[in-house]
């Protein structure tokens, strides 16, 4: 078996038993990246030197017979909106084209402490705004299952890199489905943790009340290993949560399990082949003895407008910092620039630095927050958000978890939706409510339509990551 297709614990065993060194493993991955990534374009930066020095450190520890963590020597890739000190961090935007990160995100500090090897930074929709990875200023990532199709977004580079075995695991971020949708389209496992569980310090902010960093992996076991390392309270993130319930034990046999199927997630317009695969997965749980209960989340139809009003409002404030003064691309120095005042600097740097979708969203957010419209859009959206959250609280009185599709379709063709922003937004229809309610959710491969993967979404109650991972394992085992 190729080194690059081992799971994390298999790789760990190989390292500890000296079947291969961390340096050999890193070289193997880097060679594969050189060969395969020309087709897929999942990387924005390959951090070869950093990877080599990290791998050598681990080899030293192994030769001295020191104990090493599970993630030690395991090569990873990081979505390019998460800061890794001294490595370029672009958020796939021209405005940060040459920006070198000045510090490590908290998740990166934790991964480095565990001894992981960072191979590079992966592609995304600019500032994580998109559902296809086509909004990258540096070109789209292609789906390894079919190069004519999108990876889903925004963490498309991370998902494709995991699917093509270009890394041991990856980190992504999820604001409205940005981990789960690409995981589903590329056929990998992706976890969006409960809001506040993983520190957002060092993650380039898009919508602060919705953003979460999470793992993207080949297996559920890998997903749990990575999640356990990156989670936890952080003084640098004032919304990170101190909680004991994080370790709540949840082992329940399938026959004790009550699974809710929200009827609003099985609607007209859904690809019948996708629906078939999801129904098949639900049937497997039923066969294992779980009780399947139809439930209703009555405010689901409002989730999409609520999400796009709230996330864009927050984005318009968060992206105000990109003015080309303290960092980022600035036109001021260029001879042709007609800049006279500070305001001109802002207008020109931002007008030229941001891509179409980012501008569109800043405009929508600015509009929703502007005098005279705040109540009708932003405040109203926040109130409907309350109802969406209560929908989940109500159904979780009756069931343990919810099963839904991740997306109504499989990966669509590159270019198919790029000219129609609204139809692109509709790709997120099954993932956004989870962010509005702050819940944990897992995207898990559960079948294929042709060669295109289908993802099952398992939505849990707050802080029940462990439980949804265990429940996911049932399907994973049946599948294997």
Partner 1 sequence: MIDVEHIARLARLELSQDEVERMRKELSSILDYFDLLKKINVKKVKPTSHSFSVENVMREDLPKKQPKEKNDKLLKVMPEKKGRYTKVKSVL
Taking CB under 8 A as the criterion, which residues in 346-385 touch partner 1? 346-348, 350-352, 354, 359-360, 362-364, 366-367, 370, 377, 379-385
Site for partner 1 in 183-212 (CB under 8 A): 195-196, 209
Q: Which stretch binds partner 1 (CB under 8 A): 259-267, 268-276, 279-287, 304-312?
A: 304-312
Cis peptide bond prior to 154, omega within 30° of 0: yes
Under rule CB under 8 A, residue 386 binds partner 1:
yes
User: Longest C-alpha distance within the chain, in Å?
Assistant: 72
Minimum distance, C-beta of residue 110 to partner 1, in the bound complex (Å)? 19
Q: Residue 119: in which H helix or E strand, if any?
A: strand 117-122
Catalytic residue among 42, 132, 154, 407: 154
What Å distances lie between residue 3 and 11, 26, 41, 364, CA to CA?
Answer: 8, 10, 22, 47
Site for partner 1 in 94-113 (CB under 8 A): 99-100, 102-103
Site for partner 1 in 419-438 (CB under 8 A): 421-422, 425, 436-438
Catalytic residue among 178, 240, 433, 443: 178
Q: Is residue 296 annotated as part of the catalytic site, yes or no?
A: no
State which residue, 75 or 130, has the beta carbon closest to partner 1.
Answer: 130
Minimum distance, C-beta of residue 195 to partner 1, in the bound complex (Å)? 5
Residues in contact with partner 1, shown as a per-residue x/- string from 212 to 241 under the rule CB under 8 A? --------------------------xx-x
Q: Are 213 and 173 in contact (CB under 8 A)?
A: yes
Minimum distance, C-beta of residue 350 to partner 1, in the bound complex (Å)? 5
SS3 of residue 189 by DSSP: strand
State which residue, 120 or 196, has the beta carbon closest to partner 1.
Answer: 196
State which residue, 60 or 383, has the beta carbon closest to partner 1.
Answer: 383
Q: Is residue 417 annotated as part of the catalytic site, yes or no?
A: no
Under rule CB under 8 A, residue 344 binds partner 1:
yes
Under rule CB under 8 A, residue 332 binds partner 1:
yes
Site for partner 1 in 460-479 (CB under 8 A): 462
Q: How far does CA 447 lie from the centroid of its chain? A: 21
State which residue, 49 or 233, has the beta carbon closest to partner 1.
Answer: 233
CA 277, CA 281: separation in Å to the nearest integer? 6
Q: Which of 92, 309, 414, 474 binds partner 1 (CB under 8 A)?
A: 309
Strand runs labelled E in 278-348: 291-295
Q: Is residue 178 annotated as part of the catalytic site, yes or no?
A: yes
Q: Are 177 and 432 in contact (CB under 8 A)?
A: yes
Q: Tokens in use for 449?
A: 């339509």
CA 53, CA 302: separation in Å to the nearest integer? 50
Minimal CA–CA distance to 317: which of 209, 212, 240? 209
Starting at the earlier edge strand, list the strands of the sheet with 169-174.
43-46, 117-122, 75-79, 169-174, 212-217, 189-192, 441-449, 452-459, 401-405, 258-262, 291-295
Residues with catalytic annotation?
A: 79, 154, 178
């Amino acid at each position: 078996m190729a080194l690059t297709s081992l799971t994390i614990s298999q790789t760990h065993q190989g390292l500890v038993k000296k079947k291969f060194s961390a340096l050999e493993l890193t070289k193997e991955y880097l060679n594969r990246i050189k060969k395969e990534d020309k087709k897929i374009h999942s990387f924005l930066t390959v951090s070869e030197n950093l990877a080599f020095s990290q791998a050598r450190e681990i080899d030293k520890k192994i030769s001295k017979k020191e104990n090493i963590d599970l993630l030690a020597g395991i090569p990873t890739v990081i979505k390019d909106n998460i800061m890794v000190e001294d490595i370029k961090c672009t958020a796939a935007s021209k405005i940060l084209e040459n920006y070198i990160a000045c510090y490590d995100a908290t998740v990166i500090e934790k991964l480095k402490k565990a001894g992981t090897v960072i191979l590079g930074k992966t592609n995304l929709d600019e500032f994580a705004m998109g559902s296809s990875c086509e909004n990258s200023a540096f070109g789209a990532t292609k789906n390894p299952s079919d190069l004519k199709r999108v990876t889903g977004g925004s963490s498309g580079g991370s998902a494709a890199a995991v699917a093509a075995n270009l890394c041991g695991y990856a980190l992504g971020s999820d604001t409205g489905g940005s981990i789960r949708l690409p995981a589903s389209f590329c056929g990998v496992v992706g976890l969006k943790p409960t809001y506040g569980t993983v520190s957002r310090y060092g993650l380039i902010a898009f919508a602060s009340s919705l953003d979460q960093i999470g793992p993207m992996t080949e297996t559920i076991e890998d997903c749990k290993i990575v999640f356990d390392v990156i989670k936890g309270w952080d003084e640098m993130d004032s919304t990170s949560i101190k909680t004991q319930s994080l370790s709540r034990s949840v082992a329940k046999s399938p026959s004790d399990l009550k699974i809710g199927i929200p009827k609003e997630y099985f609607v007209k317009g859904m690809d019948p082949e996708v629906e078939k695969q999801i129904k098949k997965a639900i049937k497997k749980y039923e066969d294992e003895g779980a009780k399947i209960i139809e439930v209703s989340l009555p405010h689901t139809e409002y989730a999409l407008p609520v999400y796009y009003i709230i996330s864009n409002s927050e984005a318009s404030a968060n992206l105000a910092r990109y003015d080309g003064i303290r960092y980022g691309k600035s036109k001021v120095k260029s001879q042709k620039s007609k800049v006279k005042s500070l305001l001109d600097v802002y207008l020109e740097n931002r007008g030229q630095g941001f891509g179409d979708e980012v501008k569109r969203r800043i405009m929508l957010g600015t509009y929703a927050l502007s005098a005279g419209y705040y109540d009708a859009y932003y405040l109203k959206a926040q109130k409907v958000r309350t109802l969406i959250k209560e929908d989940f609280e109500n159904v979780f009185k009756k069931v343990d978890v919810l099963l839904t599709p991740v997306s109504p379709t499989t990966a669509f063709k590159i270019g198919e939706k790029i000219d129609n922003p609204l139809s692109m937004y509709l790709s997120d229809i099954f993932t956004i409510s989870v962010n509005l309610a702050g819940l944990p959710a897992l995207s898990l491969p559960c079948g294929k339509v042709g060669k295109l993967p289908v993802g099952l979404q398992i939505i849990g109650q707050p802080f029940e990551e462990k439980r949804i991972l265990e429940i996911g394992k049932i399907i994973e085992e049946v599948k294997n």
